[in-house]
Structure 1
Amino acid sequence: MADLDEQLITAARAGDLNALTTLVADSHPTVRRFARTLCSTPEDAEDAAQEALIILYRKIGMLRATSALTSWMFRIVRNECLRRARLLLREHPITAETTAASAEDEVLRQLEAQAVAAAIADLPPDQRSVLVLRDVQGYSGPMVAKALGLSTAAMKSRLHRARSTVRQTLGGRP
Protein backbone atom coordinates (compact mmCIF):
# COMPACT_ATOMS: atom_id res chain seq x y z
CA MET A 1 0.00 0.00 0.00
CA ALA A 2 2.79 2.43 0.91
CA ASP A 3 4.57 1.66 -2.37
CA LEU A 4 1.36 2.34 -4.27
CA ASP A 5 0.92 5.69 -2.48
CA GLU A 6 4.56 6.53 -3.14
CA GLN A 7 4.16 5.76 -6.83
CA LEU A 8 0.93 7.76 -7.00
CA ILE A 9 2.55 10.80 -5.40
CA THR A 10 5.62 10.52 -7.61
CA ALA A 11 3.44 10.29 -10.72
CA ALA A 12 1.35 13.27 -9.59
CA ARG A 13 4.51 15.32 -8.98
CA ALA A 14 5.62 14.46 -12.51
CA GLY A 15 2.37 15.88 -13.91
CA ASP A 16 0.23 12.75 -14.35
CA LEU A 17 -3.30 14.15 -14.24
CA ASN A 18 -4.94 10.78 -13.44
CA ALA A 19 -2.56 10.20 -10.51
CA LEU A 20 -3.22 13.70 -9.23
CA THR A 21 -6.99 13.24 -9.50
CA THR A 22 -6.77 9.93 -7.63
CA LEU A 23 -4.56 11.51 -4.97
CA VAL A 24 -6.99 14.38 -4.42
CA ALA A 25 -9.98 12.00 -4.25
CA ASP A 26 -8.19 9.68 -1.81
CA SER A 27 -7.06 12.57 0.40
CA HIS A 28 -10.44 14.30 0.64
CA PRO A 29 -12.04 12.24 3.47
CA THR A 30 -8.98 12.53 5.73
CA VAL A 31 -8.52 16.21 5.04
CA ARG A 32 -12.21 16.91 5.63
CA ARG A 33 -12.22 14.96 8.93
CA PHE A 34 -9.17 16.89 10.14
CA ALA A 35 -10.76 20.21 9.13
CA ARG A 36 -13.95 19.39 11.06
CA THR A 37 -11.95 19.08 14.28
CA LEU A 38 -10.27 22.45 13.83
CA CYS A 39 -12.80 24.73 12.18
CA SER A 40 -15.62 26.39 14.05
CA THR A 41 -18.39 25.51 11.60
CA PRO A 42 -19.00 22.63 9.19
CA GLU A 43 -19.05 25.12 6.33
CA ASP A 44 -15.62 26.49 7.28
CA ALA A 45 -14.33 22.93 7.59
CA GLU A 46 -15.53 22.06 4.12
CA ASP A 47 -14.07 25.27 2.70
CA ALA A 48 -10.73 24.63 4.42
CA ALA A 49 -10.64 21.07 3.10
CA GLN A 50 -11.42 22.29 -0.40
CA GLU A 51 -8.72 24.94 -0.15
CA ALA A 52 -6.18 22.32 0.90
CA LEU A 53 -7.12 20.08 -2.01
CA ILE A 54 -6.92 23.00 -4.45
CA ILE A 55 -3.44 23.85 -3.17
CA LEU A 56 -2.47 20.17 -3.46
CA TYR A 57 -3.74 20.14 -7.02
CA ARG A 58 -1.89 23.32 -7.96
CA LYS A 59 1.38 22.81 -6.10
CA ILE A 60 2.04 19.06 -5.95
CA GLY A 61 5.14 19.57 -8.07
CA MET A 62 6.68 21.71 -5.31
CA LEU A 63 6.46 18.91 -2.75
CA ARG A 64 10.04 17.99 -1.85
CA ALA A 65 9.48 14.53 -0.37
CA THR A 66 6.57 12.20 -0.93
CA SER A 67 6.58 11.31 2.77
CA ALA A 68 5.77 14.95 3.62
CA LEU A 69 2.41 14.96 1.83
CA THR A 70 0.26 14.27 4.90
CA SER A 71 1.92 16.82 7.13
CA TRP A 72 1.83 19.36 4.28
CA MET A 73 -1.92 18.84 3.87
CA PHE A 74 -2.55 19.08 7.63
CA ARG A 75 -0.60 22.35 7.81
CA ILE A 76 -2.63 23.82 4.95
CA VAL A 77 -5.91 22.84 6.64
CA ARG A 78 -4.76 24.10 10.03
CA ASN A 79 -3.67 27.45 8.60
CA GLU A 80 -6.92 27.83 6.68
CA CYS A 81 -9.02 27.05 9.78
CA LEU A 82 -7.02 29.55 11.83
CA ARG A 83 -7.43 32.18 9.11
CA ARG A 84 -11.19 31.62 9.07
CA ALA A 85 -11.42 31.75 12.88
CA ARG A 86 -9.54 35.05 12.98
CA LEU A 87 -11.81 36.46 10.30
CA LEU A 88 -14.89 35.31 12.22
CA LEU A 89 -13.62 36.92 15.44
CA ARG A 90 -12.94 40.18 13.60
CA GLU A 91 -16.43 40.17 12.10
CA HIS A 92 -18.25 39.02 15.26
CA PRO A 93 -16.21 39.80 18.37
CA ILE A 94 -17.33 38.12 21.56
CA THR A 95 -18.64 40.72 23.98
CA ALA A 96 -20.00 40.59 27.50
CA GLU A 97 -23.45 41.33 26.12
CA THR A 98 -23.52 38.23 23.94
CA THR A 99 -22.38 35.92 26.75
CA ALA A 100 -24.51 37.54 29.46
CA ALA A 101 -27.70 36.62 27.62
CA SER A 102 -26.87 32.88 27.86
CA ALA A 103 -27.64 30.56 30.72
CA GLU A 104 -24.99 30.42 33.46
CA ASP A 105 -23.86 26.88 32.63
CA GLU A 106 -23.49 27.70 28.96
CA VAL A 107 -21.39 30.75 29.76
CA LEU A 108 -19.12 28.73 32.03
CA ARG A 109 -18.74 26.04 29.39
CA GLN A 110 -17.90 28.60 26.73
CA LEU A 111 -15.39 30.32 28.98
CA GLU A 112 -13.67 27.02 29.71
CA ALA A 113 -13.62 26.11 26.03
CA GLN A 114 -12.24 29.53 25.14
CA ALA A 115 -9.53 29.22 27.78
CA VAL A 116 -8.50 25.80 26.46
CA ALA A 117 -8.60 27.01 22.85
CA ALA A 118 -6.56 30.10 23.74
CA ALA A 119 -4.01 27.98 25.61
CA ILE A 120 -3.69 25.68 22.61
CA ALA A 121 -3.53 28.61 20.19
CA ASP A 122 -0.67 30.13 22.20
CA LEU A 123 1.45 27.01 21.81
CA PRO A 124 4.32 27.06 19.33
CA PRO A 125 3.13 25.64 15.99
CA ASP A 126 5.16 22.42 16.29
CA GLN A 127 3.67 21.64 19.71
CA ARG A 128 0.16 22.71 18.70
CA SER A 129 0.07 20.41 15.68
CA VAL A 130 1.21 17.42 17.76
CA LEU A 131 -1.34 18.15 20.49
CA VAL A 132 -4.24 18.60 18.04
CA LEU A 133 -3.45 15.45 16.07
CA ARG A 134 -2.87 13.29 19.13
CA ASP A 135 -5.33 14.57 21.74
CA VAL A 136 -8.06 16.24 19.70
CA GLN A 137 -8.19 13.95 16.70
CA GLY A 138 -7.09 10.84 18.54
CA TYR A 139 -4.45 9.64 16.09
CA SER A 140 -1.91 7.18 17.46
CA GLY A 141 1.55 8.37 18.39
CA PRO A 142 3.29 6.66 15.46
CA MET A 143 0.70 8.06 13.03
CA VAL A 144 1.21 11.58 14.37
CA ALA A 145 4.99 11.22 14.20
CA LYS A 146 4.82 10.01 10.61
CA ALA A 147 2.32 12.69 9.55
CA LEU A 148 4.58 15.43 10.92
CA GLY A 149 7.83 13.85 9.77
CA LEU A 150 9.13 13.33 13.31
CA SER A 151 10.62 10.45 15.21
CA THR A 152 8.30 8.93 17.81
CA ALA A 153 10.56 10.22 20.59
CA ALA A 154 10.46 13.77 19.21
CA MET A 155 6.67 13.58 18.87
CA LYS A 156 6.34 12.38 22.49
CA SER A 157 8.61 15.15 23.72
CA ARG A 158 6.63 17.85 21.90
CA LEU A 159 3.36 16.38 23.12
CA HIS A 160 4.59 16.36 26.72
CA ARG A 161 5.76 19.98 26.47
CA ALA A 162 2.47 21.01 24.85
CA ARG A 163 0.36 19.32 27.54
CA SER A 164 2.49 20.79 30.32
CA THR A 165 2.25 24.28 28.86
CA VAL A 166 -1.54 24.05 28.46
CA ARG A 167 -1.88 22.71 32.01
CA GLN A 168 0.23 25.57 33.40
CA THR A 169 -1.67 28.15 31.35
CA LEU A 170 -4.96 26.85 32.70
CA GLY A 171 -3.65 27.02 36.28
CA GLY A 172 -3.10 23.32 36.89
CA ARG A 173 -0.06 21.65 38.40
CA PRO A 174 2.94 21.10 36.10
Structure 2
Amino acid sequence: MAEVRWPDEHLVTAAQSGDTESIAALVSGAHPHVRRFAYSLCATPEDAEDAAQEALIILYRKIGTLRASGALASWMFRIVRNECLRQLRLMARRSEPVFDEGTVSAEDAAMHRLEAERVAAAIAALPGDQRRVLIMRDVQGYSGRMVADLLGLSTAAMKSRLHRARSAVHDTLQDPMFGGRA
Protein backbone atom coordinates (compact mmCIF):
# COMPACT_ATOMS: atom_id res chain seq x y z
CA MET A 1 0.00 0.00 0.00
CA ALA A 2 1.34 3.44 -0.90
CA GLU A 3 2.20 5.79 1.94
CA VAL A 4 -0.22 8.68 2.26
CA ARG A 5 1.56 11.91 3.16
CA TRP A 6 0.32 15.06 4.82
CA PRO A 7 -0.21 17.98 2.44
CA ASP A 8 2.97 20.01 1.92
CA GLU A 9 3.65 23.41 3.45
CA HIS A 10 3.05 25.28 0.17
CA LEU A 11 -0.50 23.97 0.04
CA VAL A 12 -1.04 24.85 3.72
CA THR A 13 0.30 28.38 3.15
CA ALA A 14 -1.97 28.88 0.12
CA ALA A 15 -4.96 27.60 2.11
CA GLN A 16 -4.11 29.94 5.01
CA SER A 17 -4.25 32.88 2.61
CA GLY A 18 -7.79 31.89 1.57
CA ASP A 19 -7.26 30.07 -1.75
CA THR A 20 -10.41 27.93 -1.99
CA GLU A 21 -8.88 25.26 -4.22
CA SER A 22 -5.99 24.88 -1.78
CA ILE A 23 -8.39 24.65 1.15
CA ALA A 24 -10.35 21.89 -0.61
CA ALA A 25 -7.15 20.02 -1.45
CA LEU A 26 -5.90 20.44 2.11
CA VAL A 27 -9.10 19.06 3.63
CA SER A 28 -9.06 16.16 1.17
CA GLY A 29 -5.38 15.42 1.84
CA ALA A 30 -5.76 15.57 5.62
CA HIS A 31 -8.87 13.37 5.69
CA PRO A 32 -7.17 9.92 5.79
CA HIS A 33 -4.86 11.01 8.62
CA VAL A 34 -7.62 12.63 10.64
CA ARG A 35 -9.87 9.62 10.18
CA ARG A 36 -7.16 7.13 11.22
CA PHE A 37 -6.38 9.16 14.33
CA ALA A 38 -10.08 9.44 15.24
CA TYR A 39 -10.48 5.67 14.93
CA SER A 40 -7.58 5.17 17.32
CA LEU A 41 -9.08 7.52 19.93
CA CYS A 42 -12.86 7.23 19.82
CA ALA A 43 -14.92 4.46 21.36
CA THR A 44 -16.97 3.52 18.34
CA PRO A 45 -16.61 3.83 14.56
CA GLU A 46 -19.59 6.19 14.55
CA ASP A 47 -17.93 8.48 17.12
CA ALA A 48 -14.70 8.35 15.09
CA GLU A 49 -16.50 9.37 11.90
CA ASP A 50 -18.24 12.22 13.74
CA ALA A 51 -14.98 13.41 15.30
CA ALA A 52 -13.15 13.26 11.97
CA GLN A 53 -15.91 15.18 10.24
CA GLU A 54 -15.98 17.87 12.96
CA ALA A 55 -12.19 18.18 12.81
CA LEU A 56 -12.26 18.66 9.04
CA ILE A 57 -15.00 21.29 9.37
CA ILE A 58 -12.83 23.12 11.90
CA LEU A 59 -9.86 22.84 9.52
CA TYR A 60 -11.95 24.31 6.72
CA ARG A 61 -13.24 27.18 8.84
CA LYS A 62 -10.12 28.03 10.81
CA ILE A 63 -7.12 27.24 8.59
CA GLY A 64 -6.30 30.95 8.60
CA THR A 65 -5.66 30.82 12.36
CA LEU A 66 -2.93 28.18 12.09
CA ARG A 67 0.30 29.99 13.00
CA ALA A 68 2.93 27.69 11.50
CA SER A 69 2.22 25.84 8.28
CA GLY A 70 4.43 22.97 9.46
CA ALA A 71 2.24 22.39 12.53
CA LEU A 72 -0.81 21.16 10.62
CA ALA A 73 -0.54 17.53 11.77
CA SER A 74 -0.21 18.33 15.49
CA TRP A 75 -2.99 20.94 15.24
CA MET A 76 -5.34 18.46 13.59
CA PHE A 77 -4.52 15.68 16.05
CA ARG A 78 -5.28 18.04 18.95
CA ILE A 79 -8.62 18.96 17.35
CA VAL A 80 -9.53 15.27 16.86
CA ARG A 81 -8.52 14.45 20.44
CA ASN A 82 -10.68 17.27 21.76
CA GLU A 83 -13.63 16.12 19.65
CA CYS A 84 -13.29 12.56 20.97
CA LEU A 85 -13.12 13.88 24.54
CA ARG A 86 -16.18 16.06 23.91
CA GLN A 87 -18.13 13.03 22.67
CA LEU A 88 -16.99 11.01 25.67
CA ARG A 89 -18.23 13.76 28.02
CA LEU A 90 -21.56 13.91 26.19
CA MET A 91 -21.90 10.15 26.51
CA ALA A 92 -21.09 10.34 30.22
CA ARG A 93 -23.67 13.12 30.73
CA ARG A 94 -26.36 11.09 29.00
CA SER A 95 -25.72 8.20 31.37
CA GLU A 96 -25.55 10.36 34.52
CA PRO A 97 -28.48 10.23 36.91
CA VAL A 98 -30.60 13.34 36.82
CA PHE A 99 -30.33 15.31 40.05
CA ASP A 100 -33.29 16.93 41.70
CA GLU A 101 -32.20 20.55 42.02
CA GLY A 102 -34.04 20.83 45.33
CA THR A 103 -32.02 18.10 47.03
CA VAL A 104 -28.55 18.64 45.57
CA SER A 105 -26.50 21.69 46.43
CA ALA A 106 -24.69 23.67 43.75
CA GLU A 107 -21.42 22.60 45.35
CA ASP A 108 -22.34 18.91 45.14
CA ALA A 109 -23.40 19.30 41.50
CA ALA A 110 -20.11 21.08 40.67
CA MET A 111 -18.09 18.37 42.43
CA HIS A 112 -19.99 15.70 40.51
CA ARG A 113 -19.20 17.44 37.19
CA LEU A 114 -15.51 17.75 38.13
CA GLU A 115 -15.35 14.07 39.01
CA ALA A 116 -17.04 13.15 35.72
CA GLU A 117 -14.43 15.23 33.85
CA ARG A 118 -11.61 13.45 35.73
CA VAL A 119 -13.08 10.06 34.79
CA ALA A 120 -13.51 11.13 31.15
CA ALA A 121 -9.88 12.32 31.01
CA ALA A 122 -8.65 9.06 32.59
CA ILE A 123 -10.61 7.04 30.02
CA ALA A 124 -9.35 9.22 27.17
CA ALA A 125 -5.75 8.55 28.28
CA LEU A 126 -6.15 4.78 27.84
CA PRO A 127 -4.68 2.99 24.83
CA GLY A 128 -7.27 2.73 22.04
CA ASP A 129 -7.95 -1.00 22.40
CA GLN A 130 -8.60 -0.70 26.14
CA ARG A 131 -10.64 2.51 25.77
CA ARG A 132 -12.97 0.94 23.19
CA VAL A 133 -13.62 -2.13 25.35
CA LEU A 134 -14.20 -0.06 28.50
CA ILE A 135 -16.58 2.38 26.85
CA MET A 136 -18.57 -0.29 25.04
CA ARG A 137 -18.86 -2.47 28.15
CA ASP A 138 -19.12 -0.01 31.05
CA VAL A 139 -20.50 3.17 29.47
CA GLN A 140 -22.66 1.90 26.63
CA GLY A 141 -23.66 -1.25 28.51
CA TYR A 142 -23.02 -3.84 25.81
CA SER A 143 -22.69 -7.43 26.97
CA GLY A 144 -19.21 -8.91 27.14
CA ARG A 145 -19.97 -11.29 24.30
CA MET A 146 -21.28 -8.45 22.12
CA VAL A 147 -18.20 -6.30 22.79
CA ALA A 148 -15.92 -9.21 21.94
CA ASP A 149 -17.85 -9.93 18.73
CA LEU A 150 -17.97 -6.28 17.63
CA LEU A 151 -14.23 -5.87 18.16
CA GLY A 152 -13.29 -9.26 16.73
CA LEU A 153 -11.83 -10.51 20.02
CA SER A 154 -12.14 -13.67 22.02
CA THR A 155 -14.10 -13.28 25.24
CA ALA A 156 -10.90 -13.87 27.22
CA ALA A 157 -9.05 -11.13 25.31
CA MET A 158 -11.95 -8.72 25.81
CA LYS A 159 -12.03 -9.47 29.56
CA SER A 160 -8.27 -8.99 29.82
CA ARG A 161 -8.41 -5.60 28.09
CA LEU A 162 -11.39 -4.57 30.20
CA HIS A 163 -9.55 -5.50 33.40
CA ARG A 164 -6.42 -3.57 32.34
CA ALA A 165 -8.55 -0.56 31.38
CA ARG A 166 -10.47 -0.54 34.66
CA SER A 167 -7.23 -0.90 36.64
CA ALA A 168 -5.57 1.93 34.74
CA VAL A 169 -8.54 4.26 35.26
CA HIS A 170 -8.67 3.34 38.95
CA ASP A 171 -4.93 3.97 39.35
CA THR A 172 -5.18 7.32 37.54
CA LEU A 173 -8.09 8.43 39.72
CA GLN A 174 -6.21 7.43 42.89
CA ASP A 175 -3.01 9.27 41.85
CA PRO A 176 -2.62 12.45 43.97
CA MET A 177 -1.05 14.19 40.96
CA PHE A 178 -4.42 13.96 39.21
CA GLY A 179 -6.58 14.97 42.13
CA GLY A 180 -6.94 11.51 43.64
CA ARG A 181 -6.55 10.39 47.21
CA ALA A 182 -3.07 10.18 48.71
User: In the alignment, which of 73, 77, 102 is matched to residue 74 of structure 1?
Assistant: 77
Structure 2: how far apart are the matches of 1:79 and 1:122?
A: 24
Total equivalences in the alignment: 120
* Alignment correspondent of 1:110: 162
Distance change in 2, residues 1:67/1:28 (3 Å): same
What amino acid is the match of 2:55?
A
> Out of 35, 46, 52, which is 2:55 matched to?
52
* Aligned with 1:25 (options 24, 28, 44): 28
Identity, in percent, stands at: 53
| Alpha-carbon distance between aligned partners in 1 of 2:9 and 2:174, rounded to the nearest angstrom | 35
Distance 2:69 2:171 in 1: 33
Which runs of 5 or more structure 1 residues have no equivalent in the other structure?
124-164, 166-174
Q: 1:121 to 1:85 in 2, by over 3 A?
A: farther
C-alpha deviation, 1:88, in angstroms: 1.2
Q: Over the residues paired in the alignment, what is the CA RMSD in angstroms?
A: 3.4
TM-score by length of 2: 0.55
- Cα distance change, pair 82–13 in 1 and its aligned pair in 2 (3 A): same
Give the Cα separation in 2 of the matches to 1:71 and 1:18. Answer: 23
**With structure 1 as the length reference, what TM-score do the two structures score?**
0.58
For 1:122 and 1:34, the matched residues in 2 are separated by: 29
Please give the alpha-carbon distance, in whole angstroms, between the structure 2 residues aligned to 1:102 and 1:50. Answer: 30
Unpaired stretches in structure 2, ≥5 consecutive residues = 97-137, 146-154, 178-182
